[in-house]
Structure 1
Amino acid sequence: MYAALWRILPGPAWVRVILLLVLAAAALYALITWAFPWAADTFLPQESTVEQ
């Protein structure tokens, strides 16, 4: 998967590295902004029980 992503990206190696860093930062931003708050609201820790 990573090799395919590396081949798809345009430009020399240093441009590909910059693009990958930007894509990783965008994915992290999306997770922190939308995915993690949604999961925290959807799966409340009070609702999950563990039997002892």
Structure 2
Amino acid sequence: MYAWIWRKLPFGLGGKLGGSLVLLGILGALLWYVIFPWAEPLLPFDDVQVGDPDSGYTQLDETFPDPSGSPSGEPGDGHDIPYDTGETPKPSASR
């Protein structure tokens, strides 16, 4: 099949190399913009589950304390660091 395509491309070696690159680009664009988006819902890559689905137990059932240290009833934003990071020293003047 590839030999047949190579023989059918026009314009000598330079044209055959250029034509091959154009055909590869068309094939890549077709895969990237048409085939892969169509097939993505059929593939299991986003079907992630923590725990054993057969046991009925998942880690999502567990509750964990709020790491922000805020009293209960005041939910933190989840980005608070639970320890003191100290002060960052100012840089010294360069010479």
Cα distance, 1:2 vs structure 2: 1.3
Write the distance in 1 (CA, Å) between the matches of 2:6 and 2:15: 11
1:44 to partner: Cα distance:
4.3
Quote the offset at 1:28 in angstroms: 0.3
Mark the runs of 5 or more structure 1 residues left unpaired by the alignment.
Answer: 47-52
TM-score using structure 1 length? 0.76
User: What amino acid sits opposite 1:2 in the alignment?
Assistant: Y
Could you give the per-residue CA deviations for residues 1-52 of structure 1, whole angstroms, max 9, x where no partner exists? 11111111111111110011011011101100010010002x1424xxxxxx
Higher relative contact order (CA 8 A, sep 6+): 1
% identical aligned pairs = 38
Q: Segments of 4+ in structure 1 off by > 6 A?
A: none
TM-score by length of 2: 0.44
1:14 aligns with 2:14: yes
- For 1:19 and 1:9, how far apart are their aligned partners in 2? 7
* Equivalent position of 1:36 in the other structure: 36
- Unpaired runs of 5+ residues, structure 2, are 48-95
Please state whether the residue corresponding to 2:11 is helix, strand or coil. Answer: coil
Structure with higher Rg: it is 2
